[in-house]
């Protein structure tokens, strides 16, 4: 009976339900202390140790308080069912000193999940609450607000393979919501994020074959960002609100390192009040300082991008933007914006409609050393408030535009958000 019900649910829910090949797997129900003063991290880690391989870990519909870091990197063939909320503490002194290295850009994290064949189901109700309001207030008081060392991501998928996350909600992430590094073959489906501040939705690094399906992201920074060595990435059926849109990069931050972003498919995206629909940011060829906020001089290319069926309401900037002049925040406002050796090529953006506040459809500030090539922009119907068509295509160092004609010269100047 139970197994036939499971089978029916599996058929109805199609690719995103999990059919249990082992109905006798050991189940660990996580016991929480039901108080902010009791750190539930040890109980959660205990459940993962007992049932994290060939078992099932179950979070009840209650709040679990997480007051310390969790590194759960050894999972194998496990179901993780989350019916409740995990709420992270706001002891900033603790987190700055204890959050764990992600392995890129000196970023750090509060929670690492890694392993193989991990199936997380949160049923559209399970929630990770990063309690970020305190972080947002605190960061505004700091001298350097960008990539503050030790400020943790809510969740890092690290060396995670052949795995899926379904129906998980994220509220008020401390910093980036989800970093995905050294991970392959992931389906991340029906994820809801509501950060009220400038924090990324998700960032991929050294990862491949990742599907983002049915994400809704309310945030202020990159909705989803694909960074160094992200390949075979699919983003589809998503809603992005208030953030910067889909970002490629920043990339080219590590001097002499060869990094690529290849085979990216974006389809059926609805935007509201985002800065861009799709944008690319690369560092210049001049190295100034070191990551997280300094760098430059990287090599490589972006290639094989298909972006189709976009619907936008109230875009705030160019729908498609490229800046190859990302540079050290502390560097003086002069420098060479066109010497990046990182090349942008084989990008097609088709079928984009809706409304915009910017007259710019495209702002393409490419490198003179490695000009943008094979860029297609076609079937665009973006209207301004007075219903005239947005019609500016601003270009610099672009070979052979396809589907459009450049209407003017692009602004050339330092930028971390695609336009200057």
Binding residues (CB under 6 A) for ligand NAG: these are: 71, 73, 91, 93-94, 97-98, 100-101, 106, 108, 112, 124, 143-144, 149-150, 190, 192, 194, 196, 206, 214, 216, 218, 229, 258-260, 290, 292, 304-306, 311, 313, 330, 336, 338-339, 346, 348, 354, 359, 368-369, 374, 384, 386, 388
Could you give the strand order of the β-sheet that contains 108-109, starting from the edge strand earlier in sequence? 100-101, 108-109, 152-153
Write out the E strands in 257-298: 258-272, 278-283
Is residue 124 within 8 A of residue 170, CB to CB? The reply is no
Closest distance between ligand NAG and the C-beta of residue 218, in Å?
Answer: 6
Closer Cβ to ligand NAG, 27 or 234, answer by number: 234
Half-sphere exposure of 259 (CA within 13 A, CB side): 26
Q: Give the residue from 346, 375, 229, 363 showing the smallest Cα distance to 299.
A: 229
Closest distance between ligand NAG and the C-beta of residue 176, in Å?
Answer: 15
Closest distance between ligand NAG and the C-beta of residue 346, in Å?
Answer: 3
Closest distance between ligand NAG and the C-beta of residue 24, in Å?
Answer: 28
DSSP string, 25-63: -EEEEPP--SSTTS--HHHHHHHHHHHTBTEEEEE-SSE
Is residue 65 within 8 A of residue 89, CB to CB? The reply is yes
Closest distance between ligand NAG and the C-beta of residue 1, in Å?
Answer: 26
Q: Is 221 a catalytic residue?
A: yes
Is residue 212 within 8 A of residue 240, CB to CB? The reply is no
Closest distance between ligand NAG and the C-beta of residue 398, in Å?
Answer: 13
Is residue 99 within 8 A of residue 142, CB to CB? The reply is no
Closer Cβ to ligand NAG, 27 or 98, answer by number: 98
Closest distance between ligand NAG and the C-beta of residue 221, in Å?
Answer: 15
Closer Cβ to ligand NAG, 27 or 145, answer by number: 145
Cα–Cα dist 9/326, whole Å: 48
Closer Cβ to ligand NAG, 3 or 194, answer by number: 194
Closest distance between ligand NAG and the C-beta of residue 174, in Å?
Answer: 14
Percentages (nearest 5) of helix, strand, coil residues in the chain = 10, 50, 40
Q: Give the residue from 189, 191, 185 showing the smallest Cα distance to 160.
A: 185
Q: Give the residue from 247, 230, 249, 235 showing the smallest Cα distance to 181.
A: 230
Closer Cβ to ligand NAG, 85 or 260, answer by number: 260
Question: Which position among 79, 200, 221, 285 bears the catalytic label?
Answer: 221
Q: Which two tokens stand for residue 191?
A: 């994820």
Closer Cβ to ligand NAG, 8 or 13, answer by number: 13
Phi, psi of 139 (to 5 degrees): -65, -30
Closer Cβ to ligand NAG, 60 or 196, answer by number: 196
Cα–Cα dist 151/11, whole Å: 42
Q: Which two tokens stand for residue 408?
A: 């003017």
Closer Cβ to ligand NAG, 57 or 171, answer by number: 171
Give, as one character, the DSSP assignment of residue 295: B
Taking residue 326's Cβ as centre, other Cβ atoms within 10 Å add up to: 25
Q: Give the residue from 181, 182, 147, 97 showing the smallest Cα distance to 289.
A: 147
Cα–Cα dist 65/67, whole Å: 6
The residues that are catalytic are 221
């Amino acid at each position: 009976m139970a197994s036939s019900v499971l089978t029916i649910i599996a058929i109805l829910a199609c690719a995103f339900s999990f059919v249990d090949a082992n109905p006798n797997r050991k189940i660990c129900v996580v016991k929480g202390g039901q108080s902010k003063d009791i750190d539930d991290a040890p109980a959660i880690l205990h459940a993962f140790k007992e049932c994290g391989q060939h078992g099932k870990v179950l979070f009840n519909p209650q709040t679990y308080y997480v007051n310390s870091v969790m590194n759960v990197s050894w999972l194998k063939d496990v179901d993780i069912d989350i019916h409740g909320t995990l709420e992270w503490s706001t002891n900033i002194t603790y987190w700055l000193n204890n959050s764990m290295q992600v392995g890129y850009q000196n970023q750090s994290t509060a929670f690492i999940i890694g392993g193989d064949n991990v199936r997380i189901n949160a049923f559209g109700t399970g929630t990770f609450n990063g309690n970020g309001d305190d972080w947002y207030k605190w960061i505004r008081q700091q001298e350097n607000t960008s990539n503050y060392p030790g400020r943790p991501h809510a969740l890092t998928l690290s060396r995670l393979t052949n795995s899926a996350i379904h129906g998980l909600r994220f509220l008020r992430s401390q910093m980036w919501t989800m970093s995905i590094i050294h991970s392959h073959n992931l389906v991340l489906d029906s994820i809801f994020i509501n950060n009220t501040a400038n924090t990324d939705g998700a960032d991929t690094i050294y990862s491949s074959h990742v599907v983002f399906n049915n994400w809704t992201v309310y945030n202020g920074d990159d909705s989803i960002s694909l960074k160094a060595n992200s390949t075979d990435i699919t983003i589809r059926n998503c809603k992005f609100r208030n953030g910067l849109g889909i970002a490629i990069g920043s990339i080219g931050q590590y001097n002499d390192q060869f990094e690529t972003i290849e085979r990216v498919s974006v389809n059926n995206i609805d935007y509201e009040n985002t800065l861009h629909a799709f944008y690319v940011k690369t560092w210049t060829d001049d190295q100034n300082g070191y990551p997280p906020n300094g760098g430059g001089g990287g090599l490589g290319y972006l290639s094989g991008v298909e972006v189709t069926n976009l619907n936008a309401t109230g875009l705030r900037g160019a729908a498609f933007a490229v800046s190859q002049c990302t540079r050290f925040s502390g560097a003086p406002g002069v420098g060479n914006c066109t010497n990046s050796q990182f090349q942008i090529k084989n990008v097609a953006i088709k079928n984009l409609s809706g409304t915009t506040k910017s007259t710019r459809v495209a702002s393409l500030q490419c490198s003179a050393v490695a000009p943008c090539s094979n860029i297609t922009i076609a079937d665009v119907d973006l209207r301004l408030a007075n219903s005239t068509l947005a019609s500016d295509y601003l270009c610099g160092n672009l070979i052979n535009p396809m589907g459009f004609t450049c209407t003017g010269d692009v602004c050339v100047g330092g930028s971390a958000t695609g336009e200057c």
